[in-house]
Chain A
Amino acid sequence: MEILASLVIAVLFSCGIYLVLRARTFQVALGLSLLSYGVNLFLFFTGRLITGAPPLAPGTAATADPLPQALVLTAIVIGFGMTAFVVALALRARGELGNDHVDGQGARR
């Protein structure tokens, strides 16, 4: 289970980093959202991978840590807002600069 979880995060991160390094704003925006998915999963898993446990329990019974869920909820909301902003800004850049290159210079030939 841990292996699978870390592999998922690794794949999300590597795809995200690859896309962020691309030259076009759409790919960069996609890369940023993949990165934020990776980060959100990572935050979620910092409470350890526990299934079927209550968030609060008396004594020393196994509990699922509720705090990472609260953190990840905040992070998701912020990440969603930021991604929406980046998409809007990328569209504006497409309009103002005349192309969707991140440097606004278009393909060089």
Chain B
Amino acid sequence: MNHWIILPLLLPLAAGILNLLLVKSGPGPQRLVSLVAVAGLLPVAMLLLHLADSGTTSVYQLGNWPSPFGIALVVDRLSALLLLLTAVMSWPVLLYATGGDDRRGHNFHVLFPLQVFGINGAFLAGDLFNLFVFFEILLIASYSLAVHGGGPERIRAGLHYVVLNLLGSSLFLVAIGTLYAVTGTLSMADLAVKIATAAPEQATLLRISALLLLVVFALKAAILPLHLWLPALYSSITAPVAALFAIMTKVGVYAILRTFTLIFPLNVDAVASDVAGWLPPLALLTLVAGTLGVLGSRRLTSLVAYLVVVSVGTLLAGIGLFTVAGITATLYYLPHTTLITAGMFLLADLIARQRGAVADWFSPGPPMAPRVLPLLGVLFFVGAVASAGMPPLSGFIGKLLLLQAVPPEEGIWLLIWLWTIVLLGGLAALIALSRAGSLLFWTTEGDMIATERQRLHPRLIAPVILLLAMSVVMTILAAPICRYAEATAGQLLTPGNYIDAVLPKEKKP
């Protein structure tokens, strides 16, 4: 058994607990503990990625109980990729938070590692009930982080977010209960085996639970019509928290991808194959709703929040095709959009700090300090090019992969709709971002404010540069990343390997 697999859980959990003990010691030691722990995730995630890249699915049986009775953590290519993404994204975000945002409320350095713990756990969980438990861990940390800093706007958006997610959790439990009542197991691999051989009279109940799971994960991923909580929440919360939340919708996307390739494989004729009909229209409608939001935004954070909705639509469109090419596009686009969105949230905060009371609203404000203006301008340009999906950065490659992935035999209408909506969405994002850039940087009014804002602290600017530079890195490394994404998609669409790895040999049918 490979003990590295549990380290992405133990590191952040230990850091969170240690920081709870260090509450009295001031911010210094707490910052150090979280920064070291989250940085430690990076080599572990790289090691696991290297391990998974050989094509083996590694299983960690907690307490050494045999599957499907014990709790299993499973690392395949998809989990390893998302663990690496979490590690790469959360460290710069944490560094940004140590620039002062972590002291705007209590216990930031307890909650941040615990949220990372929940996210990593959700990517590793090998059974549905533990997926639920890790969802709850990341949610309860996110509830407290969402209201970090306080203020009426945050409390109101936070309250809506909490109530919606509690409803989602209830539905998740109903789905889990139904699945357990029908199949008598919750291990994903065992469920896949049992559902493939289920009796026809159980099909209705299985279909109900598949659709319930889709609703629950769609709420997490913010898919139309369950996306309305996202822009309000993301535009009102503290910048580093919003940046960390950029990966929260991807947990929902991951859960959809895992559930509907492993438990209810949609590419084969099965009980839940009608879900396959739902995904492409939902994805396209989410894209349209997000694009309209991007065009209608009146402040930068809300524009970036709608870009998250657009990205979820794009990701889901790739999944909805259920081909190796479609999922490859999704898996290339997913890290790109998470990193860029996180960077853009942080950048929006830096821009808002320069503009005093006007903050990031699209109205004339005081000019930015001449020493920081060029750097912020260049970063905004890079971020805008990447998020609108213009060449030469990674957003363009991701969208290109998606557009090429539509199989011509699937019918001309899907092709027309997808191409039109994705391309018009890109154009709309470009228009909205150019307008935002010119309003924020060029339309000024009044005098420059406070002198201490004339310099940017390296702890604030370095994370933004790091996150946005990842787009350039992903462009240069496009070939190896695509190769990995393609191998991942192939692995997902042949769930036999996963099932064989998790279940002991004699359990197989």
Residues in chain A within 8 A of chain B (CB atoms): 20, 25, 28, 32, 35-36, 38-39, 42-43, 46-48, 67-68, 71, 74-75, 78-79, 81-82, 85-86, 89-90, 92-93, 96-97, 102-104
Q: Which residue of B lies closest to A28 (CB)?
A: B163
Interface SS of chain B: helix
Given contacts A86-B162, A97-B155, 12 further A-B contacts (CB under 8 A): A20-B167, A39-B170, A46-B177, A46-B180, A46-B181, A47-B181, A71-B176, A79-B169, A82-B166, A86-B166, A89-B159, A96-B155
Q: Which residue of B lies closest to A48 (CB)?
A: B181
Cβ B143 vs Cβ A75 within 8 A: no
Closest chain-A Cβ to B359's Cβ sits at a distance in Å of 19
Cβ B147 vs Cβ A92 within 8 A: yes
A to B CB contacts below 8 Å, 9 in the list: A74-B129, A78-B136, A78-B169, A82-B169, A85-B144, A96-B155, A97-B155, A102-B159, A103-B156
Complex Cα distance A28/B178, Å? 26
B158 within 8 A of partner (CB):
yes
Cβ A96 vs Cβ B150 within 8 A: yes
The count of residues in chain B whose C-beta lies closer than 8 Å to any C-beta of chain A is 28
Complex Cα distance A74/B71, Å? 14
B481 within 8 A of partner (CB):
no
Cβ B173 vs Cβ A75 within 8 A: yes
Inside 8 A of B173's CB, which chain A residues have their CB?
39, 42-43, 75
Complex Cα distance A79/B136, Å? 9
The 6 closest A-B pairs by CB, nearest first: A46-B181, A46-B177, A43-B177, A39-B173, A96-B152, A104-B156
A93/B180 contact (C-beta < 8 A), A20-B167, A86-B166 known: no
Complex Cα distance A92/B144, Å? 12
B133 within 8 A of partner (CB):
yes
Cβ A42 vs Cβ B174 within 8 A: yes
B160 within 8 A of partner (CB):
yes
Cβ A42 vs Cβ B177 within 8 A: yes
Inside 8 A of A32's CB, which chain B residues have their CB?
163, 166-167, 170
A89/B166 contact (C-beta < 8 A), A42-B174, A68-B180, A82-B140 known: no
- Select B174's contact among A39, A82, A90, A97, beta carbons within 8 Å: A39
B151 within 8 A of partner (CB):
yes
Inside 8 A of A81's CB, which chain B residues have their CB?
140
Complex Cα distance A39/B176, Å? 10
Complex Cα distance A65/B143, Å? 34
Closest chain-A Cβ to B123's Cβ sits at a distance in Å of 20
Inside 8 A of A104's CB, which chain B residues have their CB?
152, 155-156
Residues in chain B within 8 A of chain A (CB atoms): 129, 133, 136, 140, 143-144, 147, 150-152, 155-156, 158-160, 162-163, 166-167, 169-170, 173-174, 176-178, 180-181
Interface centre among B156, B163, B170 (most CB of A within 10 A): B170
Closest chain-A Cβ to B437's Cβ sits at a distance in Å of 33
Complex Cα distance A36/B181, Å? 18
Complex Cα distance A88/B122, Å? 26
- Select B129's contact among A38, A71, A96, beta carbons within 8 Å: A71
Complex Cα distance A39/B212, Å? 14
Cβ B151 vs Cβ A96 within 8 A: yes
- Select A89's contact among B129, B136, B147, beta carbons within 8 Å: B147
Closest chain-A Cβ to B436's Cβ sits at a distance in Å of 28
Closest chain-A Cβ to B116's Cβ sits at a distance in Å of 19
Complex Cα distance A71/B132, Å? 11
Inside 8 A of A42's CB, which chain B residues have their CB?
173-174, 177
A35/B136 contact (C-beta < 8 A), A42-B177, A96-B155 known: no
Complex Cα distance A89/B158, Å? 8
A93/B159 contact (C-beta < 8 A), A39-B174, A46-B180, A75-B173 known: yes
- Select B155's contact among A39, A48, A68, A93, beta carbons within 8 Å: A93
Cβ A86 vs Cβ B163 within 8 A: yes
Q: Which residue of B lies closest to A41 (CB)?
A: B177
Q: Which residue of B lies closest to A36 (CB)?
A: B170
Interface centre among A46, A68, A86, A90 (most CB of B within 10 A): A46
Inside 8 A of B181's CB, which chain A residues have their CB?
46-48
- Select A93's contact among B156, B174, B178, beta carbons within 8 Å: B156
Q: Which residue of A lies closest to B154 (CB)?
A: A96
Inside 8 A of B136's CB, which chain A residues have their CB?
78, 82
Inside 8 A of B162's CB, which chain A residues have their CB?
82, 85-86, 89
